[in-house]
Amino acid sequence: MKIDVEGFELKVLHSIPELLQRTETVVLEWHKWITSRDPVDEVRRCAGPRFVKAVTEDPHCGVAFYQRSTRD
């Protein structure tokens, strides 16, 4: 799943927990002037795939890769 929602990351993540629980891989862009990655990671931890790495990151935004482990 790719999530690129221009600053509404937390709102969208909070609204789709059942979908996240069934998702193996997520690529998510977050916008730093609206939220840091920490709250995004916390929602992800509760609902689905775990943080693997930041694919790109600059002072304004970043792209993070999440994947469900084989143990989940």
Q: Residue 28: what pLDDT?
A: 93
The parent domain of residue 46 ranges over: 2-67
pTM of the model: 0.82
Give every strand in the sheet of 61-67, ordered side by side. Answer: 2-3, 25-31, 61-67, 50-57
Checking if the pLDDT of 56 tops 90, the result is yes
Question: What's the total number of domains in the chain?
Answer: 1
pLDDT band at 71 (very low <50, low <70, confident <90, very high): low
Strands 2-3 and 25-31, by their bridges, are parallel
Tell me if 53 is assigned to some domain: yes
Residues 6+ apart with CB under 8 A from 8: none
Tell me if 50 is assigned to some domain: yes
* CA–CA distances in Å: residue 25 to residues 15, 19, 29, 33, 58: 18, 11, 14, 25, 22
Q: Read off the pLDDT of residues 12-54 as tens digits, 9 standing for 90 and up.
A: 988 998 898 889 999 999 998 888 888 888 877 777 788 899 9
Q: Residue 57: what pLDDT?
A: 94
